Each structure stands twice: as structure tokens, then as C-alpha cells.
Amino acid sequence: MRNIPQKLAIARGERPAELLFKNAQLVNVLSGEIHPADVAVEDGRVVGFGDYQAKKVIDLKGAYLAPSLIDGHFHVESSMLVAPEFARAVVPHGTGAVVIDPHEYANVLGLDGIRYVLESTKNLAVDFFIMLPSCVPATHLETAGARLTAADLKRMIADNRVAGVAELMNFPGVFLGAETELAKIAAGKGKCIDGHAPGLRGKNLNAYALAGVRSDHESTTVEEAREKLRLGMHLLLREGSTERNLGHLLPLINAHNSQNCSYATDDKLAGDLVAEGHIDHCVRKSIHFGLAPMTALQIATINTARHYRLQNLGAIAPRYWADFIVFDDLNNFQVRQTYKRGILVADKGKFLGKSPAKIKLTRNTMQLRYSPADFKVKARGSKQIKVIEIVPDQIVTNTVIVAPKVEQGEIVADPSRDILKMVVVERHHATGNVGVGFVRGFKLKAGAIASTVAHDAHNVVVAGTNDADILLAIQALERLQGGQVAVANGKVKAELPLPVAGLVSDRKLPQVMKLIEKLNAAAHALGCDLPAPFMTLSFLSLSPIPSLKLTDQGLIDATLMKKTGLFAD
């Protein structure tokens, strides 16, 4: 902290402060009470409560003053926005800090992706804290653009904006004591180690926690979440665009365990961040479900700051940064103003912060090698095939066994039964790897949808009703050098260019929102009724998440973590 003698003199009341937030109802997440307070601020920090003299007085006239909100786990790439435009989306909703895992950038670009994130997130109205990606690639069952080792993580762990090691997605490797996974945990010693353990219970979960993992954001049931809390794991209550677990988990939260919980969005689209909200949406939803407003705000602020050891964030008290939100109603929580270091950066939904020049990333990541013949599936003696079944509002999938539709000796999509062909093409090294399977749940009646956002290796993923449109969709993505498209009857109906690593747009927030809206509308016009069809598509290649997935290496049994055949013999 700079100018300490001057700040001490101001705190003693001997000199005027730079700012005084007067007549506030202070939401004190440290004491768990709301009390009247005048808050003095100097050089971006709180110096004290009381009747101070100040060069500038901001009269809140009885409004609530609380610390700005913190997201405990987010992949900023999922917004499809560069960092300055992400800030423009979330700051009006009261977000002051995010703990991010640049896992997607790293899977495409390796250490260069992490360096890009560190550089592009400087000097914004939101503080970004980086968790170093621990699983690049996520598993051996997919082909990513890079590979990171424990030695790579050690190289970057000392950076003061690095909060630890990100989600250990290879959870079997952790609880079985794989040397590579334990080395990654050791690389983060002294900082936080995030977990990722969907459905993990019992003795294997004991081993996972024993290895040093300290959090989890994958719980979908109260029983699973309770077991993780009992083992000392910090529970990240997730509410994203497609992963909506918060409502299912809230019945578990009480005054005794809430301090071990934080909110996380994990993956959320730009339009959802603006229209629905960010962590403020989690607070509103929690209060609606009966959680005490103070508890909800503690989960959104001080709990996250303490867990990730974010110094001087998450509360309003002397020495803490003057990162504030102002609102008028505890039970109808709507952020009216956001302050960063005492500076007003959003007012009544309008972003007022500065946006520094964007850091450009121009590397072409579209290196494909494939043939339309790769998409064909020959019928054989088996009368049944395995199909990926989408679970609404979840990233887990089911495995269903169905009789295939066969035409001229080939298994084809059957839109009448909501069974589409799905294709994944490796895009980083031109390996020629092509995975083919079938999926149920999109309800497309015609055409295809495709994306270069495909967790976690981010190869090209397509779901379609016919091979011709599947081919057209892939060709469109090549032309865009990454993006998302909806096509039908030989024509591109809508497209979103994502030239930054095939993951992120280089356009302004309003433009990105408009393009996403047109893209979703095109998918809906083709028959899809999912609220976020392209985000749903992006998770169908996520090999560490049960039960059935498709990568460039083929169909994956994500429960047993091994390749499986299409035919149900």
C-alpha cells in the first residue's frame, strides 16, 4: 500500500479524504449486519467509517452500499468476448472481480494463450485472477492444440495475478495417484487447487480431496454437494447459460455452511450476461429461493475472496479496495451503480469505464484435413446403436440405445425421431482425425449447426440432418477461420465469426450479442427448442463429463474414460 502515512492521517481524521460515501446502509459482510455508515476513501482504498471531511461527498441518501461481486470460476472465452467487452457486459451488473480459467485459450494456443489472457485483462474495470489450466488436453481421448505439463505451470505460478491451479478434470488420475496429476497439484503449492469431479462420491472422493483439491463446481444434486462440503471442499454454486445447478443446490445452504460456498457461472454467453445478469443473477435467484440476502451477498463477495486469497477484495473495511455496488432493495436486488477503486464505472445499466486498446491475436488455428467420405457410417449386423442424449440445462449426457435408420447400406440421421448425425474434425494439427456419432435432443428438422467452440480441445463440432449440410457448415467455419454457423438446404442462414483462436469475437459487445441472437434464431427456425443450442453443442465433445461424448478420436464412454464403439453389441 502506497502513501501509508498520508492514509493513516486521513484515517485519524487529521486530513480530508479524497471521497466520502455518505448516508449509506452498509452491507457489512464481515460482521453479517447492515448498519448506517459514512465510508471514507483515499487513493482507491477504504480508510475508515465515520464523519470524515472529504474533498468530494457522494450522498447515497440511505441506499445500500455493498462490496462488488466476484465470480469464483469462469471461462471468459465462453462469453465469446475479448476481455474489455466482457467488462462492458458485467460491470453494470456489479461484478468487480472474476477468477478465470483460460482453459480454452490454453487448449488451442498453450502458454501463449495464457500470456495473451494475462496481457489483455490488465487495467480494466474488472480484476481478473488466473487459475492455470491443469488439463491441456483435458484427457488422452481428444486432440488439443497444445499440451501443458507441471513444469509449464511452475513457470507461471508465481505471478501475483495467478491464484492457483485450475480444475483437475482428470479426476481418476488424481484419486489413482497418477504422477502427472500429483505434479500439477504440487506446482500450485501455497495457492488454490480447483477441482472438477462430476458425480464423484465415496472413497474415491476421499482420495481426490486428500490429494489437495480444495473446491468443486460440478455438483448437480444436494447429496453430492453435501458429501463434498463434509470433506472440506469449497462448493462453487454454478449458474451459467446451460449449466444451471444453483436451484438444485440451494436447499443445502444454511447459516452454518454458507461460508464454504461461492457463486460461479463457469460458462455464460454475452447476451445472457447482459439480459439476465452475472453474479447478481445468482444473488437474486438465491433470495427468491429463500436464502437470506446477507448470506447471498456473502457468498457473492467475501467467501470467494477468502477462498482464493484475493487480497483486500470482497468486503468494505479499512485497507480494502473501494470496489462498491449501490442498490435500493435487498429483496429485489438490482445493482444501480458500480464503483472501482472509488471511481464510478457503471450507472443505471450504462458502462462508464475505460476500455484500453485490445491486444490482437491473429494466429490462424484452422488446420483441417478431412473428406466427405469420413462422415459416412456403414451399417452392419447390429440392430442398435449408441446415441448421445442431451440433458436440458446440464452438461452431462445420457446414453440411449436405438435402432438406426439405414439408407443404401449407410446409417443416416433421422430427424423424425430427433436423431442427428454428429461429426468432430480435428482442427489444430491437420491429423485427419474425424469422429462420427449420433445425438438426440436438438430437434432440428433440417440443416446443420456447427462450431469451433467444442470443449475442451475445441475441434470442429457439427450436428446435422444430412451430410451435404454438415460439409457446408465445416467449409463455412474454415472460411471464417473459426466461428459458429447455422446452415440449411445448401445455404448459410447465420454465422458468428470467432477469429480469436476460433473461440472469441473481436467485435464490440452489441455486435456480438446481435450475431448470437441471429444465430440462435436460425437454429430455432430449423426446429431446435434449446435456449442455447450452440453452447449445448459445444459440450458434447467434453470427454471428462459423463456419460457419452464424441471427440475427434471417436465415441467416448466418459464414465469409464475410454473409447467405445457406435454399435451396441
C-alpha cell at 502: 476460433
pTM: 0.92
Res. 382 pLDDT band, cuts 50 70 90: confident
pLDDT of residue 32: 97
H/E segment holding residue 275: helix 270-275
Q: What is the pLDDT of residues 198-238, one digit of tens each?
A: 999 999 999 999 999 999 999 999 999 999 999 999 999 99
Q: What is the pLDDT of residues 515-554, one digit of tens each?
A: 999 999 999 999 999 999 999 999 999 998 899 999 999 9
pLDDT of residue 73: 98
Q: Taking Cα atoms as reference points, which of 361, 437, 449, 377 lies closest to residue 409?
A: 377
| Beta pairing, strands 17-28 & 64-67 | parallel
Decide: 412 and 406 in contact? Cβ < 8 Å. Answer: yes
Section 303-314 average pLDDT: 98
Section 156-171 average pLDDT: 95
Average pLDDT, the chain: 96
**CA dist., res. 456 & res. 558, Å (int):** 13
pLDDT of residue 359: 76
Residue 544 backbone class (left: φ over 0; alpha: ψ -120 to 50; beta: rest): alpha
Residues 6+ away with beta carbon under 8 Å from 154: 187
**Cα 142 to Cα 109, 179, 309, 417, distances in angstroms:** 15, 20, 33, 29
Asked whether residue 75 carries a pLDDT value surpassing 80, the answer given is yes
Residue 112 backbone class (left: φ over 0; alpha: ψ -120 to 50; beta: rest): alpha
4-62 and 68-313: same fold?
no
Res. 362 pLDDT band, cuts 50 70 90: low
| Beta pairing, strands 335-340 & 460-464 | unpaired
Question: What residue spans define the domains of the chain?
Answer: 4-62, 68-313, 372-563
pLDDT of residue 380: 83
Separation of CA 337 from chain center: 24
Asked whether residue 366 carries a pLDDT value surpassing 90, the answer given is yes
Asked whether residue 361 carries a pLDDT value surpassing 80, the answer given is no
Section 279-306 average pLDDT: 98
**What share of the chain has pLDDT > 90, as a percent?**
92
pLDDT of residue 243: 85
pLDDT of residue 41: 98
E strands present in 391-543: 397-402, 405-407, 410-412, 419-425, 434-440, 448-451, 460-464, 483-488, 491-497
CATH topology of domain 4-62: Urease, subunit C; domain 1 (2.30.40)
Residue that has been written with the C-alpha cell 472440506 in this structure:
232
pLDDT of residue 427: 97
Res. 134 pLDDT band, cuts 50 70 90: very high
Q: Which CATH number fits domain 68-313: 3.40.50.300, 2.40.110.10, 3.40.50.1970, 3.20.20.140?
A: 3.20.20.140
**What share of the chain has pLDDT > 70, as a percent?**
100
